[in-house]
Amino acid sequence: MTIDVFIRSSLLKSNLLREYMELACDARWRLEPVEIHYLNNMKIGQGREFAEYMAKSDPYIVTDNDVLLVGKDWVNRAVKAMLGHPEYRACSTLSLVEGENQATGEGEIYEMHAVGAPMIIRKGTMVDLPDMDLNNECGTIHKMILDRGGKEGLINGLRHNHLGHGFSSNPALFWGY
């Protein structure tokens, strides 16, 4: 099964480091059974609504261009976990970056507040989105999912490396130079 992956990016690369991070992450995604789509220069809600509308797979994935998958059969393992737990509308994986999300839990998926990229999303979740921006996206989505009776979580045993930690497009998370 091919899974749709929507990668948020900018046609205007802010620096050479971010450009090379995107190239490395793109190359890794292409080792998985995915169809890649780029969300170039879209506002947060606009990109999520576009992904929801265009995705043929259920679930589908929305991620940033600086998220590197870690481990064998990452996409198949993520999809299997999501399909086995329909109460979870959006899930992510644990970052290898110290300090980002050091949560631990029991079971194949464990409940978590406000998960980020890479976000594995059940089709039909990102409809009628509330207003959001880069600073409040994760919290807004979390509240929306809870209000609609769903859950967010982290998939146990799957990891990613946030290469862009400290070099984010979000000014609050940028300390690179």
Question: What is the per-residue pLDDT across 35-65, written as a single tens digit (0 to 9) for each?
Answer: 999 999 889 999 999 999 999 999 999 999 9
Flag whether pLDDT at 132 surpasses 70. yes
Residue 100 included in any domain: yes
Per the prediction, the chain carries an average pLDDT of 90
CB-based contact 62:132 (threshold 8 Å): no
Confidence grade of residue 68 (pLDDT, cut at 50, 70, 90) = very high
Average pLDDT over residues 169-174: 60
Which CATH number do you get for residue 147? Answer: 3.90.550.10
Flag whether pLDDT at 17 surpasses 90. no
What are 13's two structure tokens? Answer: 């690369």
For 36, the domain range is 3-167
Average pLDDT over residues 15-23: 86
Residue 172 included in any domain: no
Residue 107 included in any domain: yes
Flag whether pLDDT at 120 surpasses 70. yes
Please tell me the distance from the alpha carbon of residue 146 to that of residue 86, in angstroms, as a whole number: 14
Instruction: Give the least confident one: 3-17, 128-142, 151-165.
Output: 3-17
**Residue 81, pLDDT score:** 97
Residue 173 included in any domain: no
Flag whether pLDDT at 174 surpasses 90. no
Instruction: Give residues with Cβ within 8 angstroms of 92, minimum separation 6.
Output: 112, 115, 116, 117, 118, 119, 120, 154, 155, 160
Average pLDDT over residues 162-167: 76
| pTM of the full structure | 0.93
Flag whether pLDDT at 177 surpasses 60. no
Flag whether pLDDT at 145 surpasses 70. yes
By residue count, the chain amounts to: 177
Helix runs in the chain, H state only:
16-29, 44-54, 74-84, 137-147
Tally of domains within the chain:
1
Instruction: Give the least confident one: 60-74, 86-100, 114-128.
Output: 86-100
CB-based contact 90:122 (threshold 8 Å): yes
Residue 175 included in any domain: no
